[in-house]
Amino acid sequence: MTDTHADHELDPADPLSTALRRAAAEERAQHTPRLAARVAAALDAEPAAPAARAWPWWSLAAAVLLALVAGGLWFRARPDAGGATGGAPAVVEEHTPALDGAPQRARAAVNPATWTRGFAPEASLTRELSSLTRDTQSTARFLLGHVRLGPAQRGS
């Protein structure tokens, strides 16, 4: 290999340096390799190549565990879950075709001006309420509790 880190003050071109290099090269050349077979036999008993062992099982398990913990934290902290960082639960606006117009119909049920003969406001209101979402229902129950329908308004 080329010496890219030559220290010229350590490596003077004197006979001693030359002799040391030459003697080292001779010693290596005269050496009979005998460890290669023994090392190869020892390596055969090794479980896997280094690259395959670069990611041991525990690191994979740790990665999965970390992903689960991160997912759990995100799930708890998402805004609509009422997590610590999410503040108050947000109202989810869902478009449900069956509920289209339900608030309007509920308002009509409690508005005497819209009643016609034979109209049963309470039954109508109950029917409309049953189709509303829970939040809307609770609002409507509140309204029911405050709307007092007198006999004159019930129709006859």
Partner 1 sequence: MDGAAPEPSSEELARRARAGSKEAFGALVERHEASLLRFLRPFAPSAEDCEELAQEAFVRAWRKLEHYDPAQRFSAWFFTLARNLAISRLRVRRPDVQGAHGVQGEAALAAVAVECDPAVQAARREAGESLWALADRVLTAEQRQALWLRYAEDLSAEEIGAVLDKRAVAVRVLLFRARENLQQHLETRPPGGARAASAAGAGPAGDRWRALEALS
Interface residue list for partner 1 (CB under 8 A): 1, 3, 5-7, 9-11, 15-28, 31, 33-36, 38-40, 42-43, 46, 49-54
The SS3 of residue 130 is helix
Instruction: Supply the minimum distance, in Å, between the C-beta of residue 57 and partner 1.
Output: 15
Residue with tokens 């690259």: 51
**CA 128 to CA 99: how far, in whole Å?**
9
Closer to partner 1 by CB, 3 or 93: give it.
3
The SS3 of residue 122 is helix
Closer to partner 1 by CB, 1 or 88: give it.
1
Q: What is the Cα 143 distance to its own chain's centre?
A: 41
Closer to partner 1 by CB, 26 or 100: give it.
26
Closer to partner 1 by CB, 31 or 148: give it.
31
Counting every residue written for the chain, the total comes to 156
**CA 128 to CA 84: how far, in whole Å?**
36
